[in-house]
């Protein structure tokens, strides 16, 4: 059994992209691997978060994960800031990672935009904390969407440099698990941009809490082109919106895009969008209902997260203690 780790930021309601690209793939791993899943509130504050909102969204994200099928008894589910070892190892990694490596991170450039000087230092070293999240458990498999690939390569570079510099074989190699047609779900308004919690337009994404009417409306308004759906995937060239919507239907109904095209190829988008909206509503509305139910008992949710944090700390503490020793810190007791 391998140890799996993944995380998600509580910076908004999870989107269909988070669900199809990541969360849905986390669920079966609970039964085949030792799975550790984390709501990464420390990553969230690399950009401004209102404190009351952050607290609310952290709980909401935990409820969403459970509603999607994570079971705090079958996996370790917790909040990042509750396990101090993440911050401790991240500091050591700040001293291992090179500025040149961080300068190549496309996500920093995207998020900082033109105003890099005004970005937090935390946003810049974000990937070091992410490397610590994984390495602090000696996790070897990381299920994520396609956009996290570069960060995981950096996490491997950091682990290897640490091993090399200190002459140890301590941090294992991490294998990204990037799955399926939905590894990159695109915006409903622009098929060349990824669907994101932080896009200013709510019309660009499906949120897991959207009701049936909202989902239907967003899909009806989703950008398309005037051509009918292609008969084969080769017809997706220069048609990113068509590719995206077909990919979403394939992912949500557990099939492949070519099977969707076999059924819908040649059709206009009108009928296809009705099928897509119905499939999304059927799949997502039970999740939203379960989320609402879970959020009615925040004390139970908090208690489950605290148990998760205790179990996570039990694994992380000895590993970070060993890392402290390897770098030459005096024992604290
Ligand atoms: P975050 O919160 O942006 O996204 C959580 C997960 O959802 C995936 N994802 C998508 N997949 C497909 N299509 C999309 N449009 C889409 N948008 C998001 C992401 O790839 C991710 O898997 N840095 C991470 C959180 C993190 C983490 C970690 C992940 C912190 N530490 C350690 C793995 C291991 C992030 O911001 O994810």
pLDDT given for residue 176 in this prediction: 97
Q: Are 261 and 232 in contact (CB under 8 A)?
A: yes
CATH number at residue 253: 1.10.240.10
Furthest-apart CA atoms within the chain: distance in Å: 71
Give yes or no: residues 288 and 306 share one domain.
no
Give yes or no: residues 34 and 156 share one domain.
yes
Give yes or no: residues 80 and 111 share one domain.
yes
pLDDT, tens only, 60-103: 999 999 999 999 999 999 999 999 999 999 999 999 999 999 99
With respect to residue 332, please indicate whether it lies within any of the assigned structural domains.
Answer: no
Give yes or no: residues 124 and 75 share one domain.
yes
Give yes or no: residues 158 and 224 share one domain.
no
Task: Tell me which residue range forms the domain holding 259.
Answer: 202-293
Give yes or no: residues 162 and 228 share one domain.
no
DSSP of 182-195, one letter per residue?
Answer: TSSPBPSS-TTSB-
176 secondary structure, DSSP code: E
Which residues, including other chains, have CB under 8 Å from residue 114's CB and lie 6 or more apart? none
Nearest residue by C-alpha to atom 4 in ligand 1:
8
Question: For residue 145, how far is its CA from the centre of ligand 1 (angstroms)?
Answer: 6
With respect to residue 196, please indicate whether it lies within any of the assigned structural domains.
Answer: no
Beta strands of the chain (E only): which ranges? Answer: 3-8, 34-39, 76-79, 141-143, 175-177
Give yes or no: residues 53 and 120 share one domain.
yes
* 223 flagged as catalytic: no
Nearest residue by C-alpha to atom 18 in ligand 1:
18
Tokens of 13: 């309601």
- Alpha helices (H) in 68-148, listed in sequence order: 85-94, 99-103, 106-112, 121-124, 126-135
- Using CA atoms, how far residue 227 sits from 123, 182, 241, 274, in Å, is 42, 23, 11, 17
Tokens of 242: 């068509």
Sheet holding 3-8, edge to edge: 76-79, 34-39, 3-8, 141-143, 175-177
With respect to residue 191, please indicate whether it lies within any of the assigned structural domains.
Answer: no
Give yes or no: residues 67 and 89 share one domain.
yes
* 141 flagged as catalytic: no
With respect to residue 194, please indicate whether it lies within any of the assigned structural domains.
Answer: no
Give yes or no: residues 39 and 142 share one domain.
yes
CATH number at residue 323: 3.40.50.620
With respect to residue 157, please indicate whether it lies within any of the assigned structural domains.
Answer: yes
Q: Angle, to 10 degrees, between the axis of helix 126-135 and the axis of helix 85-94?
A: 120
With respect to residue 245, please indicate whether it lies within any of the assigned structural domains.
Answer: yes
Give yes or no: residues 225 and 171 share one domain.
no
Give yes or no: residues 96 and 150 share one domain.
yes
Give yes or no: residues 128 and 246 share one domain.
no
Question: In the chain, how many domains are there?
Answer: 2
Give the integer Cα–Cα distance in Å for 133 and 138: 9
Query: Model's pTM, two decimal places?
Result: 0.96
With respect to residue 232, please indicate whether it lies within any of the assigned structural domains.
Answer: yes
User: Catalytic residue among 141, 197, 218, 273, which?
Assistant: 197
Q: What is the dihedral of CA 209, 212, 215, 217, to 10 degrees?
A: -140
Q: Tell me which residues have their CB closer than 6 angstroms to ligand 1.
A: 5-9, 17-18, 21-22, 40, 43, 130, 133-134, 142, 144-145, 147-148, 183-185, 194-196
* pLDDT values of the chain reduced to their tens digit, one per residue, 333 residues: 899 999 999 998 999 999 999 999 999 999 999 999 999 999 999 999 999 999 999 999 999 999 999 999 999 999 999 999 999 999 999 999 999 999 999 999 999 988 899 999 999 999 999 999 999 999 999 999 999 999 999 999 999 999 999 999 999 999 999 987 889 999 999 999 999 998 999 999 999 999 999 999 999 999 999 999 999 999 999 999 999 999 999 999 999 999 999 999 999 999 999 999 999 999 999 999 999 999 999 999 999 999 999 999 999 999 999 999 999 999 988
Nearest residue by C-alpha to atom 14 in ligand 1:
17
Q: How many CB atoms lie within 10 A of CB 47?
A: 16
With respect to residue 139, please indicate whether it lies within any of the assigned structural domains.
Answer: yes
């Amino acid at each position: 059994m391998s140890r799996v780790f993944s995380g998600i930021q509580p910076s908004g309601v999870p989107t269909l992209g988070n669900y199809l690209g990541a969360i849905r793939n986390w669920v079966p791993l609970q039964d085949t691997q030792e799975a550790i899943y984390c709501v990464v509130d420390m990553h969230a504050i690399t950009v401004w978060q209102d404190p009351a909102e952050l607290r609310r969204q952290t709980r909401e994200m935990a409820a969403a994960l459970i509603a999607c099928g994570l079971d705090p008894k079958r996996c370790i589910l917790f909040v990042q800031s509750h396990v101090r070892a993440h911050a401790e190892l991240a500091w050591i990694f700040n001293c291992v990672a090179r500025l040149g490596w961080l300068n190549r991170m496309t996500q920093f450039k995207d998020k900082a935009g033109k105003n890099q000087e005004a970005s937090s230092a935390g946003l810049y070293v974000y990937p070091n904390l992410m490397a610590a999240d994984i390495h602090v458990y000696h996790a070897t498999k990381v299920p994520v969407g396609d956009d996290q690939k570069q960060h995981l390569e950096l996490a491997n570079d950091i682990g290897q440099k640490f091993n090399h510099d200190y002459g140890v074989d301590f941090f294992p190699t991490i294998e990204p698990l990037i799955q399926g047609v939905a590894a990159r779900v695109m915006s409903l308004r622009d098929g060349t941009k990824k669907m994101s919690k932080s896009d200013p337009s709510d019309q660009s994404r499906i949120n897991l809490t959207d009701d049936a009417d909202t989902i239907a409306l967003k899909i009806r308004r989703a950008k398309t082109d005037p051509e009918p759906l292609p008969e084969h995937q080769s017809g997706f060239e220069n048609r990113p919106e068509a590719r995206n919507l077909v990919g979403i239907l394939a992912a949500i109904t557990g099939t492949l895009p070519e099977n969707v095209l076999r059924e819908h190829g040649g059709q206009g988008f009108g009928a296809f969008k009705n099928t897509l909206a119905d499939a999304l509503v059927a799949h997502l509305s039970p999740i939203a209902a379960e989320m609402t139910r879970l959020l009615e008992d925040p004390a139970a949710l908090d208690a489950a997260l605290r148990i998760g944090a205790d179990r996570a700390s039990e694994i992380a503490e000895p590993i970070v203690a060993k890392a402290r020793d390897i770098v030459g810190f005096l024992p604290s007791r």
